[in-house]
Structure 1
Amino acid sequence: MSRQHTLADHLANARDFFAPRAADWDARFPDDGPAYAAAIAEIGLRAGDAVLDAGCGTGRALPALRAAVGPAGTVLGADVTPAMLAAAVRAGRHRDAGLALADVTRLPLRDGCLDAVFGAGLISHLPEPEAGLRELARVVRPQGRLALFHPVGRAALAARKGRPITPDDLRAEPNLRPLLARSGWALTSYTDRDTRFLALAVRQG
């Protein structure tokens, strides 16, 4: 099977999974807003920055990203599932960002055009994590930032899904640090507790 065919299958599977869940996605996680805002506050965004929410879903991060970069900044949200983007529009979050139906592993953006990328629950949905993270590095300027976030930590998420943490979990620090390094990033901060997972990295020149 060709790589292109495999990636197409992955995109189709992602859409099949998220599309029927889009309408009530926010209602399933009604208390996550403060966790998103707290994580975004740690990225170090400045007024006027350009930031992408990669795999933005219903856009829960977009208001906090807009607040961080101000009216002069640029906020983009990209997702492969039309139903999720439609839910973001219904929630009014299109007023905080430009929304694009796009695959974050092949972004329609020029090299180095962003100051930061935010990805909530992103890494587990990348068909080829190293290649996906390298694509995010491509569109971020040197010394720009990456935030990989989840509103609960690895143990809490595994318990929610009724399964144990496995040693090959990409979000484990011993796995994530070298994965980021191979992809053009340097891990600068790592938090994994029940109430939050947040890995911050800097784009290497």
Structure 2
Amino acid sequence: MSDDHTKVQEFFSARAADWDTRFPDDGPAYRAAVAGLGLSEGARVLDAGCGTGRALPALRDAVGPLGTVLGADLTPAMLEAARRAGRDRDGQLLLADVARLPLATESLDAVFGAGLISHLPHPAENLRELRRVVRPGGLLALFHPIGRRALAARQGRQITPDDLRAEDNLGPLLAGSGWRMTSYVDEDARFLAVAVRAN
């Protein structure tokens, strides 16, 4: 395992047990983001870097009982927290690195990533791997339950020009990784960038 992966695991392992209680009011924001994607009944979707699986119930509701919902995370403690919360009933949990997903090429209709982009060790390469598993015309949603400015304030820092989630940075990053950004929202109540897989 690389040093980057070890750092991510250590960060989230230390926070897994109380993650949901630290952010108890995020559920409606997750539901609204998933609803806005317009996923079809029966669709196949991955929550990449699913953490404690907070998006899985909304994803299950969106794709219905015949859809496929997968949640992949690198940190065993986060997946265990998801199981304790009963979210494994809404989707299959996978201990997996989003840099090397154990999924067939073009096997998904969409990928949802909450708080994912800032934890990717090699963003362009990692976004290409997400593209690999999504069919042409499929979706990528990069989400956070609060916007960039509100998140920076919560963490006691300023937004910097090199922030990957800035529209001027994210659009070209996605384009260079085989995605076309179709919408971008960055407001205090949420961050949501949606992209379509280019052919």
The normalised TM-score by structure 2 is: 0.99
After TM superposition, give the deviation of residue 77 of structure 1 in Å: 0.2
Cα distance in 2 between the residues matched to 1:13 and 1:184 = 27
Q: Which residue among 131, 140, 159 is the counterpart of 1:137?
A: 131
Residue equivalent to 2:44: 50
Letter in 1 for 2:2: A
Residue equivalent to 1:61: 55
SS in 2 for 1:51: strand
**Residue 140 of structure 2 corresponds to residue 146 of structure 1:** yes
Q: What are the equivalent positions in structure 2 for 1:29-178 lying under 5 Å apart?
A: 29-178=23-172
Cα distance in 2 between the residues matched to 1:158 and 1:191 = 16
Q: Which residue among 8, 11, 14 is the counterpart of 2:5?
A: 11
Q: Which residue among 161, 165, 182 is the counterpart of 2:176?
A: 182
Structure 1, gaps ≥5 residues long: 1-6
After TM superposition, give the deviation of residue 44 of structure 1 in Å: 1.4
Letter in 2 for 1:170: L
The normalised TM-score by structure 1 is: 0.96
Letter in 1 for 2:198: Q
Give structure 1 regions of 4+ aligned residues with deviation exceeding 4 angstroms. Answer: none
Percentage identity across paired residues of the two chains? 72
Q: For each residue in 1:74-113, what CA deviation from the matched residue of structure 2 results, as whole angstroms up to 9, or x when unmatched?
A: 0000000000000000000000000000000110111100
Over aligned residues, Cα RMSD in angstroms?
Answer: 0.6
After TM superposition, give the deviation of residue 43 of structure 1 in Å: 1.0
Cα distance in 2 between the residues matched to 1:29 and 1:38 = 16
